Structure 1
Amino acid sequence: MSKVGVVQMNSGATPEENIKQLSLKLKGLQQQGAKLALTPENCIVFGQKEDYERYAEPLGQGELQDTLSALAKRYQIWLVIGSFPIRNVDGSLSTTCLVFDDNGVLVEHYHKLHMFDVEIEDGHHSYRESDTFTPGNEVKVVDTPFGKLGLSICYDVRFPQLYSELRRQGVEIIAVPAAFTKVTGYAHWDILLRSRAIETQCWVLAAGQWGSHGAERETWGHSMIIDPWGNKVATQREGTGVIIADIDKSQLAMIRKKMPVAQHARLECKLS
């Protein structure tokens, strides 16, 4: 078994303050024996379009990414940054998950596929992620010492076809960093996450932003770790903090053996 951790944060638009908060959380996880840590979406910059434009860096370059690399190396932990603004070669921005190994090497990245362009009955009202970011076009799986890790970000969780493809590629652990709104979180967060775990028979690590972030934006929190049977084994409902759990791959193997849904799938069938 391997200990993994999830960080719940209340990030703002200033990277330095967010990194201070993150460093303390990682230190706590290291002291508890965690070997992998997942942070929420927008953990380093959570603001307006101009904030993401200001702090965006080319992939694998820049002071902020160097700092994150150093944190992973300092705490000897695989660090999954839920999302970070990456400036692409054409000048556009992607909101991107970054995976650093325990030596601080950036081993993989994932550009968020699905843009959160919706109307919500809250104080913020309108969310138009595509006004700032360009969607990605690749599914990403990372080989880690703890198992195959599938990457996703927040709104992606509403699209089960992505997770079916991750399972097809052999994923055992799924990362869902998020900044779910308070309204949609209350309604859908729990059931969506547990559904993704049950249908893929994977461990799910879900890291959320929590609280108020200015511009009348409120996030739901309720970070959790879910086992492949759909049980919540650790939860941080409100506030900031960390949760930790042991990833038991033997449990995953047993569930898949007893209920081999991947082998039973008949997606090749056609309607008559």
Structure 2
Amino acid sequence: MKSYLAAAIQMTSRPDLDRNLTEAEELIDLAVRQGAELVCLPENFSFLGPEVEKIQQADAIALKSEKFLKTIAQRFQIVILGGGFPIPAADNKVYNTALLIDRNGQELARYYKAHLFDVNVPDGNTYQESSTVMAGMELPPVYHSDTLGTLGLSVCYDVRFPELYRHLSKQGADVLFIPAAFTAYTGKDHWQTLIQARAIENTCYAIAPAQTGNHYGTRHTHGHALIVDPWGTVLADAGNKPGIAIAEIDPRRLTRVRSQMPSLNHRVF
């Protein structure tokens, strides 16, 4: 593993597939121009709209999203994470899918989101992700890279389930991906705290690309795409507008923190 720059992309995706992919490409280009070798897109990067529209367009979204990720990775010679897009499953449902692609456009890892957001948020909005999404039934994978470290996948609501990240750290993860479309109401109180907690307790870097702003109707997201180091220090915060958070992933910092706080070696259970 070497030092490198990683970017967490922040978007305001809407119910418009082509527009969203154009916005994503512009932000990826900006990240690469600043030196990013690893670029991470948020959950729902290619489509964020009403559930009925998502299901109706699922085949097209899946096909274009995967093709986009592979084409972009080759064009910019980067490793890219597509942080969540629908891939058709059974029973007229989809998998919320995170996909990691290498510089040659080859798939490195795939994860189907396991924890689904079925919550009545106190701001009056109700979310029932399980109505259209089939939960993944396998633990998320890690990908071992000689140059980028060991990368662990997750998606959004997973961040509230620390056992998932303990699994990733036990598999050797150095970097945790937490792409999200976090609600504005919960985000203001919980988002940064949860990202920092997952980084601290696993002594890993956490890269958390995010959605921000108003997407359609009353759907608002929190923003603040983050990159957090293994000590819990926020290295980059994208604020509340579309843009990027970019920071160095430094193996020396990882080694130093794990030496200073060797909690992973002290696990009892």
With the shorter chain as reference, the TM-score category is: over 0.9
For residue 157 of structure 2, give the secondary structure of its aligned residue in structure 1: helix
Q: Which amino acid aligns with 1:259?
A: M
User: Partners of 1:219 and 1:64 in 2: how far apart?
Assistant: 21
Deviations 1:216-249 (A, max 9, x none): 0110001110000000011111100012111001
2:158 to 153, 156, 159: 156
Find the counterpart in structure 2 of residue 228 from structure 1.
230
Counterpart of 2:10 in structure 1 is 8
Give the TM-score normalised by the residue count of structure 2.
0.94
Query: Residue 31 of structure 2 aligns to which amino acid in structure 1?
Result: L
Task: Report the counterpart of residue 19 of structure 2 in structure 1.
Answer: 17
Normalising by structure 1, report the TM-score: 0.93
Structure 2 segments unaligned to the other structure (5+ residues) = none
- Equivalent pairs counted in the alignment come to 265
Between the aligned partners of 2:214 and 2:63, the Cα distance in structure 1 is 28
CA drift of 1:91 comes to: 5.3
Task: Give, in angstroms, the shift of residue 257 of structure 1.
Answer: 2.0
Counterpart secondary structure, 2:74: helix
Q: CA deviation at 1:54?
A: 2.8
Q: Is the 8 A contact 1:58 1:86 kept in 2?
A: no
Q: CA RMSD in A?
A: 1.6
User: Which of 37, 40, 60 matches 1:38?
Assistant: 40
Instruction: Report if the CA contact (8 A) 2:89-2:134 is conserved.
Output: no
Mapped pair 1:133 → 2:133 = yes
Q: Measure the CA separation in 2 of the matches of 1:58 and 1:258.
A: 49
- Counting aligned pairs with the same residue, the percent is 37
Distance in 2 (CA, whole Å) between partners of 1:256 and 1:8 is 29
Question: Match for residue 147 of structure 1?
Answer: 149
Match of 2:35, as an amino acid?
Answer: G
> What CA distance in whole angstroms lies between the structure 1 residues aligned with 2:63 and 2:203?
37
Partners of 1:218 and 1:35 in 2: CA distance:
30
1:49 matched residue in structure 2: 51
Letter in 2 for 1:157: V
Match of 1:202 in 2: 204
SS, match of residue 216 in structure 2: coil
Structure 1 stretches lacking a partner, 5+ long? 268-272
**SS at 1:188's partner residue?**
helix
Q: Distance in 2 between matches of 1:171 and 1:52?
A: 32
Indicate the residue corresponding to 1:270 in structure 2.
none
Match of 2:87 in 1: 86
The structure 1 segments of at least 4 consecutive aligned residues displaced by more than 6 Å after TM superposition are: none
Q: Residue type of the partner of 1:122?
A: D
SS in 2 for 1:17: helix
